[in-house]
A and B are shown apart, each in its own frame.
Chain A
Amino acid sequence: MAKRESPPRGAGSKEPNYPELPRNEAPPELLRELVAHLRQNRTHLREEWLRRISETRLLTAMTKEEIFAEATSVYDSYVEALETGTFEALQAYARNLSERIIPRGVETHEVIGIVLLLRDVLARSLFAKYQADSEKLNRILDAYEPAANRIANTVAVGFVQERERVIRQQQEAIRELSTPVLQVRERLLILPIIGVIDPQRARQLTEQLLRGIRTNRAKVVVIDITGVAAMDVTVANHLVQTVEASRLLGATVIVTGLSPEIAQTLVTIGVDLGKMNTVGDLQGGIEQAEKLLGYKVVPVSDPR
């Protein structure tokens, strides 16, 4: 039995290396006969499939026309994969399809569901055609089964990978949104931190802040951590490093909004609080920053 390994994939696609279909076990004529049958009965089988899809109430997020269009493409890709024994085109199509339907709210179980339905519809039609000749039926199924399994797998994995990519993208976006560096006065930056800081986010924060200090020529930075519930030792150290690195760029850092828990953490890990300028709340921090910068805020005299 000749098995050829698929060529190694590029970085970013962690598809397991399936061997190519054992073609010796599926004589080419059998496969051709199978594919011919599926092509000839395309219209009928596709309709059958669509009927089953709506029966089981899958893909409710899509319109009938959309389902029809996608079903046609999936069917044709399916048959082509069976015929050629290669799955790159199918994989690319699955990713492309997923990219389109995920924003529509299509779920993983629906995608797997419809692929398995198609598999079933096609298998049943093969049963129907060859039921008289059980030996031939067996051989046809031997040709059909491994390929059909691989196809179902390829589509499902393609869908899931696309979902994971979207999730990663969203996480990245959330991460960026959550650490804005804001200029509120000339030479004064505020970095309001909200939520959970893990070491990776802490690092990103520091890099963003340092770049911000240079771009805005900031002399004072107020880092507000009112929105941070807890901080472990690693992150607390990152905070200290951020303060020190900012100083190397000529900026003074004022940290505001330390919760009692975080204050405890900092004391416990022995942070040299002499190195850290802290003020109770953001308002106090900004007032001190303004003082450092030589600003004075006075009420405008009453026009009356």
Chain B
Amino acid sequence: MEVPILKQGEFLIATIQAALSDADLEHLRLALVQRVVRFRSRAVIVDVTAMDVMDSFASRTLREIALMIRLRGAETVIVGIQPEVAFAMVQLGLTLEGVGTALDLEEGLAYLNQKFKNIN
């Protein structure tokens, strides 16, 4: 399933809408990096509000997305992790270390805007 990726000025916003298969996640990783390159984006927000489960593969893929995007000089922020999901993740030791996080899309944008002092 294709994850919609929207361009918002210098940012990209990917909204995950349902449970993704491993193949979908890999596809997302590729699509995001390609777009960061094409649009010279400065940051990517991945909205996982609709994910009610986060397994180790998904967690690792998100980290890899962040690392790859950082190699292009861009920032990644994961937003919308649900309390129950967060709890389950830390119990499994999946901490998304090194990846930015924010409560939701609004907070994520505020964080990035603050960081880059952009008007978007």
A residues with a Cβ closer than 8 A to B are 206-207, 210-211, 213-214, 217, 219, 241-242, 244-251
Interface locus among B15-23, B30-38, B86-94? B86-94
Nearest to B81 among chain A residues (CB) is A248
Complex contacts, A211 vs chain B, CB 8 Å? 83
Q: Which of B6-14, B63-71, B96-104 contacts A (4 or more CB under 8 A)?
A: B96-104
Pair A248/B89 contact, Cβ less than 8 Å = yes
B90 to chain A: which residues have CB within 8 Å?
241-242, 244-245, 248
- Interface membership of B113, Cβ < 8 A: no
Given contact pairs A248-B96, A248-B101, A250-B103, enumerate 13 new A-B contacts (beta carbons under 8 Å).
A210-B86, A213-B103, A214-B103, A241-B87, A241-B90, A241-B91, A245-B83, A248-B89, A248-B95, A249-B103, A250-B79, A250-B111, A251-B103
Interface of A is mostly: helix
User: Knowing A213-B103, A217-B103, A241-B90 touch, does A249 contact B83 (C-beta < 8 A)?
Assistant: yes
Q: Nearest chain B CB to A95's CB is how many angstroms away?
A: 36
Range class of the B interface residue count: 20 to 34
| Chain A residue, CB-CB nearest to B106 | A217
Closest chain B residue, CB of each to CB of A214: B83
Q: Would B103 and A247 count as touching, CB distance under 8 A? A: no
Partner of A249, one of B81, B91, B95, B111: B81
Roughly how many angstroms separate A241 CA and B89 CA in the complex, as a whole number? Answer: 9
Chain A contacts for B87, CB-based, 8 A: 206-207, 210, 241, 245
Q: Is B107 an interface residue (CB 8 A)?
A: yes
Contact A247 B101 (CB under 8 A): yes
C-alpha gap A217/B95 in the complex (Å): 20
The complex places the Cα of A275 from the Cα of B90 at a distance, in Å, of 13
In chain B, positions 59-87 with a C-beta closer than 8 Å to chain A are: 78-79, 81-87
Instruction: Determine whether the beta carbon of B91 is less than 8 Å from that of A250.
Output: no
Chain A nearest CB from B52 CB (Å) reads: 14
CA gap between A242 and B95 in the complex, in Å: 11
A212: min CB distance to chain B, Å:
9
Q: Distance (Å) between the CB of A298 and the closest chain B CB?
A: 23
B107 with A217: CB separation less than 8 A: yes
